[in-house]
Structure 1
Amino acid sequence: MGKWIKIAFLAYLLAFLLIPFQVFANQSTSASETIYVIPVEQTVERGLEAFLERSFKEAEEENADHIILDIDTPGGAVDAAGYIANIINRTDIPVTAFINSEAISAGAYIALNADQIIMVPNGQIGSAGVIDGSGNAADEKVQSLWISRMTTAATENGPDGGRDPAYAEAMANASFDVDGFPSGYLTLNAEQAKEVGYAESIESNLNDVISFLGFDPSSVNVVDSEVSIAEHIARFVTNPIVIPILLSVGSLGLILELYSPGFGIPGIMGISALLLFFFGHMVAGFAGWESLILVVVGVILLGIEMIAPGFGIFGLLGIGLIIAGLFMASFSTTVMVFSVGIALFLTIAAAIILFVFFGDKGPWKRLVLQAQTTSDEGYVTNETEVDLIGQTGKALSILRPAGVALINDKRLDVVSEGSYIEQGRMVKVVYTSGSRIVVRELEQT
């Protein structure tokens, strides 16, 4: 027993002596500097904003020492760039924009909101004019606001109290020129940007950037923030160009399903397009379950209207819920109005064409009366008796103007041309249409 006590005492003593080394090791680990590298690539849109929001949050939770935005973008949506700028300005972590090729338009605005800018030797920054969906310059009010944002970002960020706002205005205003540069939207290469104070350094790669920032590339902990598959989908789906395509495919697929027997490819494509729309917007943080529930309930009401047609109440309510759900899932009312308008136009046009050529096919035929009254079943049709025209007969009753006449030994319901005809007068058939027989009184001799 004494032997085991000695062994336990020695183990305890050894563990106690190792505590300082463990503390030192933990301090060394915690002292390791961390840099988050976040890519800003392709088109700037709201899906990119959601990715940056998540990446900045992770960097803050990990107490990162620095954030490097690896920028290579041709620009994109102005509103998305504004939200991304807010994310950059909210963080207490120093942010460096590393223009790894180009930062054009909205990309230039994002770079100007960073604490400092570093460019590769062939980098470009600028050409930040605002254009609308048709490729034309935006109206004066939007242009004025955008120029103000560009110049404000330039003056409030950068070393030595900010940058010269004149170059930011020249980037966003084609009619504003700065000395030494051609007219039009200003674009600076790396050398020009460094010369005018719009870049602090020109570096060839990320390691050189890390060294310039004062870190040791061999010891610093570099964390590459990667776009997940779901975020890739979200970035694709939330693109303003893709949204109307998805909604059109969704609505057209469901319309085509009405004219095809069973449930096949059109229905699967339609439902898949709508689910993809909601999945992307939910991943990006724009849509919640409530918007999806509204659309599902709307589809169910439309199904009820199709199975048991009534006064259209379920159909109208279903369409209203679907549109409401789409708007709740959208990040922009303008984009959604445009997208829904295109989808409705294409859907109505397709429905008319399909009804004309395939109106008696698929589930749609349940909504159309198919029963026929044939002579084989004892029904008699009201055919126009043209051979009666010109025939004469006698009024068996007073025509006021309707009554009964005997023509070709047949009692027929007739109507005068509007005049009063006494009983027993001779009449002549002047017009027939279906069951309508018009007669005129003959002059008595």
Structure 2
Amino acid sequence: MRMGRAGLLLLLCFLTLSMMIPAVQAEPEASHGRAVYWIPLDQEVEQGLARFLDRGFREAKEGGAEAIILEMDTLGGDVAAALEIGKLLRTSKIPVTVYIKGEAISAGSYIALNADHILMAPGSAMGAAEPRTITGERADPKTVAFWASNMRAAAEAHDRDPEIAAGMVDRNLEIKGLKKKGELLSLSAGQAIQRKMADRMVKGDADVLRFVKAHPSDVVRVDQTLSEQVARFVTSPYVIPVLFMVGLAGLAIEFLTPGFGLPGVIGLSAFGLYFFGHYLAGLAGMETFVLFAAGLILLLIEIFVPGFGIFGILGLLSLVASIVAAAADRMFSLTTLVVALLLTVVGMIIAVRRLGLKRGVKRFVLHTAQDNTTGYVAQPGRRELIGKQGMALSPLRPAGTAVIEGKRVDVVSEGGFIPPRTPVKVVDVQGLRVVVRGLTSSDDGADSGSR
């Protein structure tokens, strides 16, 4: 049995909402010795990482940890996430040691400066923390000044040189013997230790454990769950635009072509992944899913029930509100959504003109032209429908839509209201006006007997 477009869309809405149910996590095992929690801080800094570290610190507190080691190797990322992680380190009652195994660049250097101790492996580096936009351009002077002040504060809180910390951000700052004006500061492991920006150089994990006076048997490693990995991937500022593009393009193709198929599934899945990832990252609540589902339902009403566009407008506003509400940076999310929408519109225009989607568009565009040089030609009648039976797809008040011989037809009732899913019969065709009559069980029996 084939499921209609409305049924599939509602089913996908239900599945999206069901994904919100969080997986039950096992309680961390209590440590019976000197617990040292070892947490990786790698790849990009974003909101998903902040949620993961927050869980790791909570487990360390519940497990009675005496030290937390963050193994760092990152090129930076989101400023807002870095500020949140920095606050997590500053307010931790458990001593935090950052072990820079590779790079602590940009937001990574800010996080490291908030730790109680910084250890660096040979060949590692920290610095180059100039804020940039997602397109790679330098941030405005106000943002640079804000970020430099936060770097200074983090360094001062742990008796590190605030000028060196600010020099990692501000090109205009000059530090005699270390940095010229116009350059960004980045320190090697040796330079960082010499300038007292780091505590010690270590050659491996064993040296790190000796520094915190722990044994390998004391280590409790905290790994990311599958849901946290999904959250980290989805909340990346580089992935969000792709999800918007895929989601909008899938829904646009679905609405331009008959039936419900793969494009609609892909489009809804992209938006479902966006919301699910932000929910796991602690950014989206139940209200965002309700707004998104309400938006889809309103768009369905607009498609299947004749109206004046009010439901469609409300549906679009609800969808936009849900997307923006779920974002960590709402201005970035709104801007990205608008750009993705414009690119989708341009792409669909190209597809319609070049790639053969014109058949689907014919449902929305009047293609017949009247030319006074050739005379005014009426649309061809559909008198072959007389006597055919079908079913009302929407309420007929008296106009609406019916399915006749497997095809959607705009019809009007012979008189009075006909509810949806009522059997109907075409009794007359007047030009483009297809007139139907509701059938009762007795009518069906009469028709069967006459045949």
Alignment-derived partner of residue 260 in structure 2: 263
Aligned equivalents of 1:277, 1:107: Cα separation in 2 = 25
Cα distance change, pair 377–347 in 1 and its aligned pair in 2 (3 A): closer
Q: Name 2:274's counterpart in structure 1.
A: 277
Aligned 1:377-416 pairs, distance under 5 A = none
Q: Deviations over 1:357-416 (max 9, x none)?
A: 767634x655557999357889xxxxxxxxxxxxxxxxxxxxxxxxxxxxxxxxxxxxxx
Report the secondary structure of 1:211's partner residue: helix
CA contact (8 A) 2:31 2:63 kept: no
Conservation of the 8 A alpha-carbon contact between 1:306 and 1:367: no
CA distance in 2, matches of 1:55, 1:95: 12
How far 1:227 sits from its partner (Å)? 1.2
**So what's the TM-score if we normalise by structure 2?**
0.72
Partner of 1:40: 41
Task: Tell me which residue corresponds to 1:6.
Answer: none
Give the letter for the 1:284 counterpart: A
Partner of 1:243: 240
- Partners of 1:240 and 1:254 in 2: how far apart? 22
Structure 1: state its 5+ residue gaps: 1-28, 379-445
Worse overlay, 340-349 or 313-322: 340-349
SS at match of 1:292: helix
- Aligned equivalent of 1:108: 109
Give the whole-Å Cα distance in 2 for the aligned partners of 1:300 and 1:225: 41
Indicate the larger mover: 339-348 or 50-59: 339-348
Q: Secondary structure at the match of 2:257?
A: coil
Matched, 1:200 2:199: yes
The 1-side partners of 2:31 and 2:287 are apart by 43
Cα separation, partners in 2 of 1:360 and 1:95, compared to 1, 3 Å: same
The CA deviation at 1:237 is: 0.7
Distance (whole Å) between structure 2 residues aligned to residue 376 and residue 342 of structure 1: 44
CA contact (8 A) 2:35 2:220 kept: yes
Equivalent residue for 1:325? 322
Determine helix, strand or coil for the equivalent of 2:48. helix
- Compute the displacement of 1:351 (Å): 4.4
CA distance 1:213–1:365, change in 2 (3 Å): same
Task: Identify which of 284, 287, 309 aligns with 1:312.
Answer: 309
CA–CA distance in structure 2, aligned partners of residues 341 and 149 of structure 1: 32
Letter in 2 for 1:205: G
User: How many angstroms apart in 2 are the aligned matches of 1:337 and 1:277?
Assistant: 14
Could you tell which deviates more after superposition, 172-181 or 244-253?
Answer: 172-181
Would the aligned equivalents of 1:35 and 1:68 in 2 still touch at CA under 8 Å?
yes
CA distance in 1, matches of 2:153, 2:147: 10
Q: CA deviation at 1:45?
A: 1.0
TM-aligned CA distance change 1:198 to 1:360, over 3 Å: closer
- Give the structure 1 partner of residue 209 of structure 2: 210
Once the two structures are superposed, residues 59-116 of structure 1 have per-residue CA deviations (whole angstroms, 9 ceiling, x without a partner) of: 1111111000100001111111101011111210000010011101110000000001
Q: How many residues align?
A: 343
The 2-side partners of 1:249 and 1:123 are apart by: 38
State the AA in 2 paired with 1:62: G
1:295 equivalenced with 2:292 (yes/no):
yes
Matches for 1:36-435 after TM superposition, within 5 Å = 36-157=37-158, 162-183=159-180, 184-217=183-216, 220-353=217-350, 361-362=359-360, 367=364, 373-374=378-379
Given the superposition, is the C-alpha separation of residues 374 and 337 from structure 1 closer, same or farther in structure 2, using an over 3 Å criterion?
closer
Q: TM-score, normalised by structure 1?
A: 0.73
Displacement after TM superposition at 1:270 (Å): 0.5
The Cα offsets for residues 212-271 of structure 1, whole Å up to 9 and x where unpaired, read as: 122233xx4211111111111111110112111101110110111123333222112101
Q: Is the 8 A contact 2:77 2:107 kept in 1?
A: yes
Conserved? CA contact 2:100–2:121, under 8 Å: yes
* Shift of residue 36, structure 1, vs aligned partner: 0.7
Q: Assess if the C-alpha contact under 8 Å between 1:248 and 1:342 holds in 2.
A: no
Moved more, 59-68 or 172-181: 172-181
Letter in 2 for 1:100: K
Q: Percent identity?
A: 41
**CA 309–349 in structure 1, closer or farther in 2 if over 3 Å, else same:** farther
CA separation of 1:354 and 1:88: change in aligned 2, threshold 3 A:
same
The 1:140/1:32 distance shift into structure 2, 3 A limit, reads same
